[in-house]
Amino acid sequence: MSKAATEAYASGPLTSYTEDEQMFRASVREFAEGEIRPRVEEMDEHAKMAPEVLKQLFELGLMGVETPEEHGGTGASFFMAIIGVEELSRVDPSVGVLMDVQNTLVNNALIRWGSPEQQKKYLPRLASDTVGAYALSEAGSGSDAFAMQTRAVDKGDHYELTGQKLWITNGNEAGIFVVFANAKPEEGYRGITAFVVEKGFEGFSVGKKENKLGIRASSTTEIILDGCKVPKENVLGEFGKGYKVSIETLNEGRIGIGAQMIGLARGALEHALAYTGERTQFKQPINQFQGVQFQLAEMATELEAARLMVYNAARMKDAGLNFVKEAAMAKLYSSRVAEKVSSKAIELYGGYGFVKDYPVEKLWRDSKIGAIYEGTSNMQLQTIAKLIIGK
């Protein structure tokens, strides 16, 4: 494949982008290639995000894409954020998910439900130098998120939060957390309330960091709330409406994970295309064998279908249309495609694909989380089924 053809394929159909979106994609790709790619192996090996990468994400405006300009952000579209996540994930899905959580979950929650005072206080920090995290899951509360045991007790001028959250992406780097707790457990899910919690609040601490299969440079931790004191003005949205905040925010977050997965699959396919054009067997490049060509064609076709699903869901969100079904479909399908394409890339590399000296084994390890976080594949199927059946 020629350089021009590779670039055209990587960009997708140009008619689907505005000039600003094309320029944004090119700038993120340049950053990912120049600054992230040389650090990928080391970050994965040591399971730590490079401080230089984190700093540059803020400097380039990637941590506040939808945040209004008056709060220090870019003031761009949701689709623009999706482009950024895809391009970063093409090189390292760990960096892609850090940007994704910041934009589609944390910033999004504050933009949609934050009071003017909360937005003025927190959005500029999240756009300039402070990482955010989203704390919903617990040991006994994964897919059944409303079974959470974290409690919020009214203490007059503040709430005291007590409980433990697990699987918190960005937990080590974050300074601001959107935390969910039940303030009226006797009312079931109607007692769940969202809070903006700062890392320095009394009674807050970050616990164990998980040693993961993939996306190792992205920190995943527990957080411990031991009578954590949260001012009443830090209730996010309405009291008792935390279930609404969580559901609607995660609907958008699933499109972000879809973008991470298609970026990952793109990276794996591009590696496979390059390698099969260089690897010679029986006196010719292996991409001249029809069996290999057909495998590459299948990979490219499934990736393109996944990309279009993710893009469509993102465009629908920006247009103000109901996108819940499309977001679930995009996440479900893109996670499957990412795992399949990265696995096939390993096979096309042969023995080299199985060792850490080459990049495709990492992308396969990274792909597995796509079927798990921000709603498992079974939960996406349940959502899709309910919406198409009409019950």
Q: Active-site residue numbers? A: 374
Angle in degrees, CA 43, 48, 51, rounded to 5: 90
Token couple for 119 = 């937005």
Amino acid at 266: R
Name the packing angle between helices 324-349 and 360-367 (round to 10°): 150
CB contact at 8 A, 292 and 286 = yes
Helix (H, G, I), strand (E, B) or coil at 284: strand
CA distance 229 to 202: 6
Closest CA to 124 of 80, 71, 172, 75: 71
7 half-sphere exposure, CB direction, 13 A CA radius: 8
Radius of gyration of the chain (CA): 21
Q: Which two tokens stand for residue 37?
A: 């790619």
Residue 349: what are its φ and ψ, rounded to 5°? -80, -15
